[in-house]
Amino acid sequence: MSFLKTLHLRERLARLFSQAMKNWAWILLVLAAILIRLVATQPGWVENYYSSVFYPFFSKVQRTLLGWLPVSVGDWFYGVLLLIIFLKTGWLTRDLVKKKVNRPYLASGLQQLIFFFLFVYVFFNLGWGLNYNRQGIAKQLALKPDSVSVDQIDTLAQFLLKRANEYRALEPAGIRNPLKRKKNLFQEAHQSYDEAALHYSFLQLATPSIKPSLYSYLGNYLGFQGYYNPFTGEGQVNTTIPVFLQPFVTTHEMAHQVGYAKESEANFVGYLVCKNSPNVFFRYSAYLDMYLYAQGMLYQLDSNRAIQLRTSITPLVKKDIQELKRFYQRYQNPIEDWIMVGYDYFLQANQQPQGKRSYGQVTGWLLAWVKKEGWEAL
């Protein structure tokens, strides 16, 4: 009898302990979420303590643990997560059909769902997301982007096109072939960061973790060229996009690894890295991409000027742009539009009110750079 009482007592204590742990988990997550919201209102504190101290250490640990693996752990993570969501949805549908759903069932499910999203919110922000609230490039390079005029955008687009034309003409024969091997592409990108760090120490990136995405072909239909996974610290590159885009896309995703969350800043950092690269193809990739952003903005402001500027594109650059157009047309589909709407809301919720158009705001950083350093520095 005493044995049964002892066993019952142990089971009761175990249940109490389990419930206490659950309560503490809720308390810690709620407190962490509140703290994150408070810290996010202090860009100076985020810059000096999170982005400059905590995040570099945390992200280096992530990259050290997972960067050596040849496959993208982040892609597998998202794949398994989607599978779990699919199965959970299926089980819920089955229970609804069999009328097994009652109030306790719904309450438990809702509690689990809230806990999951709360955990994701806290981990996302502690692991990377607070970088959306940093001072970033504006402080590090003392840049002040202003509103821009049509004339400024026109001049910028002309300059960028001139550079793209020049670097495309300087490409040695066969320089693109080795970079079709992703190992070479990523090594060259890392070397470009090392070179850029000689000029801008804040661009140092030890132990990079950049990998081809397992979902590259799917990404063509969903409209992504690459992405950064804050849960694993890996940068994923869509390696099926035209090869002349891949150097810039790679350095853009690595900019996210360095801690630049906002897309316009990651674009500007990617440009700086490619611009300082000893590889002429990396420079061409950046200037072509920057020209396309500037030309797109110019077309919105003055379509006649944008059309006139296209007459200055050399045949070699025009060939690449035509290849890019054919690539986009090949994968155009209605699902991409819905995905982009969701992504637009995500960007707006993370300190980028322009949504997906924030990518094009890199033109503001380029003009601020010209204002500070002069056209010869661009």
Q: Half-sphere exposure of 312 toward its Cβ, with a 13 Å CA cutoff?
A: 18
| pLDDT, tens digit, 9 for 90 and up, residues 157-185 | 999 999 999 999 999 888 888 888 899 99
Higher pLDDT, 144 or 42: 42
- Indicate whether 191 belongs to any domain: yes
Maximum average pLDDT range among 2-16, 66-80, 163-177, 250-264: 250-264
Tell whether the model's pLDDT for residue 8 goes beyond 60: no
**Neighbouring residues of 40: CB distance < 8 A, sequence distance ≥ 6:** 46, 125, 130, 132, 133
Arithmetic mean of pLDDT, 180-202: 93
Tell whether the model's pLDDT for residue 19 goes beyond 80: no
3-state DSSP assignment of residue 354:
coil
212: left (phi over 0), alpha (psi -120 to 50) or beta: beta
Arithmetic mean of pLDDT, 66-76: 91
List the alpha helices (DSSP H) in 204-314: 216-222, 246-258, 263-275, 280-301, 303-309
As a whole number, the mean pLDDT across the chain is 88
Q: CA 257 to CA 194: how far, in whole Å?
A: 14
Higher pLDDT, 336 or 243: 243
- Smallest CA-to-CA distance from 126 within 207, 25, 49, 26 is with 49
Q: Give 102's pLDDT tier (boundaries 50, 70, 90).
A: confident
- Indicate whether 170 belongs to any domain: yes
Q: Which helix (H) or strand (E) holds 100?
A: none
Higher pLDDT, 101 or 355: 101
Q: CA 196 to CA 268: how far, in whole Å?
A: 13
- Smallest CA-to-CA distance from 273 within 376, 374, 197 is with 197
Tell whether the model's pLDDT for residue 292 goes beyond 90: yes
Check if the beta carbon of residue 206 is closer than 8 Å to that of residue 200: no
The first and second tokens of residue 375, run together, are: 């056209």
- Indicate whether 313 belongs to any domain: yes
Arithmetic mean of pLDDT, 17-39: 81
Arithmetic mean of pLDDT, 254-282: 95
Tell whether the model's pLDDT for residue 13 goes beyond 70: no
Domain count, the chain: 1
- Indicate whether 119 belongs to any domain: no
Q: Which long-range contacts (CB under 8 A, 24 or more apart) does 76-81 make?
A: 76/214, 77/229, 77/231, 77/232, 78/229, 79/214
What global pTM score does this model have?
0.90
Arithmetic mean of pLDDT, 6-12: 56
Residue range of the domain that includes 295: 137-377
The first and second tokens of residue 306, run together, are: 């944008």
- Indicate whether 76 belongs to any domain: no
Q: CA 68 to CA 285: how far, in whole Å?
A: 27
Q: How many helices (H) and strands (E) does the chain have?
A: 17, 3
Sign of CA dihedral 186, 188, 191, 192: negative
Q: Give 206's pLDDT tier (boundaries 50, 70, 90).
A: confident
pLDDT in the model for residue 93:
77
- Indicate whether 94 belongs to any domain: no
